[in-house]
Amino acid sequence: MAFSELLDRVGSLGRFQVLQSMALVMPIMWVATQNILENFSAAVPGHRCWVPLLDNGTALAGTPSALRPEALLAVSIPPGPNHGPHQCRRFRQPQWQLLDTNSTATNWSEAATEPCVDGWVYDRSTFTSTIVDKWDLVCDSQALKPMAQSIFLAGVLVGTTVTGQASDRFGRRLVLTWSYLQVAVWGTATAFAPSFPVYCLFRFLAALAITGIMMNTATILIEWTSAQARAMVMTFSNLGYSFGMILMATAAYGIRDWMWLQLVVSVPFFLFFVYSWWLPESARWLLTRGKVEQGLRELQRVAAINGKRAVGDALTTEVLLSAMQKELSVSQTPTNLGNLLCTPGLGLRTFVSTLCWFAFGFTFFGLALDLQALDSNIFLLQVLIGVIDMAAKIGTLLLLSCLGRRPMLAASLVLAGLCILANVLVPYEMRSLRSALALLGLGWIGGTFTCITIYSGELFPTVLRITAVGLGQMLARGGAILGPLVRLLGIHNPSLPLLLYGAVPVLSGLTVLLLPETRGLPLPDTIQDIQSQTVKKATHDTRGPSVLKSTQL
């Protein structure tokens, strides 16, 4: 009897799994708010240089008292590239000649201007406070905002490498509980950061723990659920991220101060920390670590919650050890990263799958963390992204069983890229069309996440599956780090970021056609299983077309 059969006996999809899924998906919603928080807490408000004529509070000597604020602004601030007041320069001295109706733009030169040496005046009509106006992350310091986002995503990348090892050594539930506490502490501390470097440090530390929540939530759900229900349970977990996007937009709409918004999305993790002690440890992990008695207690507890107390009482140490023989033999097979890259049949799968993971992280976070670039209502856009992401994940899950893994993954990547590339051709004045194309692109990227999550698990054998998926997620985090930084290329050409965001998924989608289809195939357990599949496919492909001879009796 395998461990999966043992899990079926105590209940692999009962009351316990329902309660556990609800308890674990709730924090996932708030993790999503942490990931996209800076769409709102780091929103760039309208700004211009501080000038004495308008902002000194008292009239200066020699200033005509009858002049309107618009006239004072015209003689104090030169026009900017968007024909409004320049955001980063001011006149050294008031240019009174510009009030003359016969004056032209040639009446002043660049030499007559200077940077905003006295600071900026910010438009607080949408947000009362953001980290941008708190630490003046504008003009020459505008690159610091995407750097802060990349530092946070770098923390997620580092956490990916650390959390997996910690979970294998100390347990899934313990690391998950510790991660809840860390996000609560560092997220709360971020709201009181005295400087921008300290803010980035606290966000980095919170990102380390966020990875622990994401990875251990998925692992616990998988290890306590039957194989038949895993796709449904994991889709439900992924929908938590979609609901989190809507939750973030709702919270930001009601709270326009970045410090209070930071607190609102961080304090709930204290509650998650408290009730997470109720969650049982993974019995599969306990048994593989030799903690048979503790694993027996957890299984009996789950059996009691699922209404199968008699089955739990009948379990013994000998039954558990017998059930784990297959898992232990597979886990002891020596494997390493070299097997993924050098083994025939695995190298191409590794390259293409990691490229798809990279494309997902690069494109999604590059677009989703810069909603202001669409020049629309960012609150409504965030809600629409959550709704479309939800529909895309559910629709993709249904289509995977009909169309197959390979065509769905290739189509979702290529269509996402084409929607983004189409925006390069749309004029900036057509805001609604630009927003619609961007939303469609993000929707297809959401479908890509569902495809690659399921497809990656089926492409690789059991002995290398965690290593392969972990490598793919690391590439996704690397792409997520680069995504916000690519926006800095917009300084040279506004179309360059969109060209890259669109080209990467299109090229990745085309490489998917090199992979085999896995729909309906049994999950491979060993490297030999993969090689056998490759040999069977090659034999089938080289077999000539069937010739039917008709004989007449």
Q: What does the pLDDT read at residue 127?
A: 92
Q: What does the pLDDT read at residue 548?
A: 42
pLDDT in tens, 197-223: 999 999 999 999 998 898 888 888 878
Q: What does the pLDDT read at residue 272?
A: 95
| SS3 label, residue 530 | helix
Q: What does the pLDDT read at residue 552?
A: 39
Q: What are phi and psi of 47, to 5 degrees?
A: -150, 160
Q: Which uninterrupted H or E stretch holds 91?
A: strand 89-91
Mean pLDDT of 18-27: 91
Which of the following CATH numbers is that of domain 1-39+127-332: 3.40.50.2000, 3.40.50.11540, 1.20.1250.20, 3.10.110.10? 1.20.1250.20
Q: What does the pLDDT read at residue 535?
A: 59
The single-letter code of the amino acid at 464 is: L
| Rounded CA separation 34/210 (Å) | 8
Alpha-carbon 487 to chain mean position: 17
pLDDT in tens, 170-196: 888 999 999 999 999 999 999 999 999
pLDDT in tens, 509-551: 999 998 888 777 766 766 776 766 665 655 555 554 444 444 4
Between 416 and 228, name the one with better pLDDT.
416
In our burial notation (b when 16+ CB lie closer than 10 A, e otherwise), range 209-241 reads: bbbbbbbbbbbbbbbbbeeeebbebbbbbbbbb
- Tokens for 324, please give them: 């784990």
| Rounded CA separation 108/303 (Å) | 82
Q: Which uninterrupted H or E stretch holds 480?
A: helix 462-486
Residue 258 has pLDDT above 90, yes or no: yes
Residue 130 has pLDDT above 90, yes or no: yes
Domain ranges of the chain: 1-39+127-332, 47-122, 335-520
| Rounded CA separation 468/267 (Å) | 34
Mean pLDDT of 28-46: 91
Q: What does the pLDDT read at residue 110?
A: 65
pLDDT in tens, 82-120: 777 888 888 888 777 777 766 555 556 666 888 888 889
pLDDT in tens, 430-465: 878 888 888 888 888 888 888 888 788 778 776 677
Q: What are phi and psi of 549, to 5 degrees?
A: -100, 130
Q: 246 pairs with which residues across the strands?
A: none
Q: Which uninterrupted H or E stretch holds 122?
A: strand 120-122
- Nearest Cα to 515, choosing from 444, 451, 441? 451
Most confidently modeled of 39-43, 263-267, 316-320, 395-399?
Answer: 263-267
Between the alpha carbon of residue 444 and those of residues 390, 391, 396, 409, 502, the distances in Å are: 11, 10, 9, 10, 12
| Rounded CA separation 370/39 (Å) | 6
Between 464 and 247, name the one with better pLDDT.
247
Q: Are 281 and 173 in contact (CB under 8 A)?
A: yes
pTM > 0.85: no
Q: What does the pLDDT read at residue 107?
A: 56
| Rounded CA separation 139/83 (Å) | 17
Instruction: Give the E-state strand segments of 377-519 in sequence order.
Output: none
pLDDT in tens, 471-495: 888 888 888 888 888 888 877 787 8
DSSP secondary structure string for all residues of 318-368: HHHHHHTHHHHHHHTS---HHHHHHSTTTHHHHHHHHHHHHHHHHHHHHHH
Which of the following CATH numbers is that of domain 335-520: 1.10.10.10, 1.20.1600.10, 3.30.160.20, 1.20.1250.20? 1.20.1250.20
| SS3 label, residue 22 | helix
Lowest mean pLDDT among 60-69, 121-130, 371-380, 387-396: 60-69
pLDDT in tens, 282-318: 888 888 777 888 888 888 888 888 888 888 888 888 8
Common-topology check for domains 1-39+127-332 and 335-520: yes
Q: What does the pLDDT read at residue 194?
A: 94
Q: What does the pLDDT read at residue 187?
A: 95
Percent of the chain residues past pLDDT 70, beyond the cut: 86
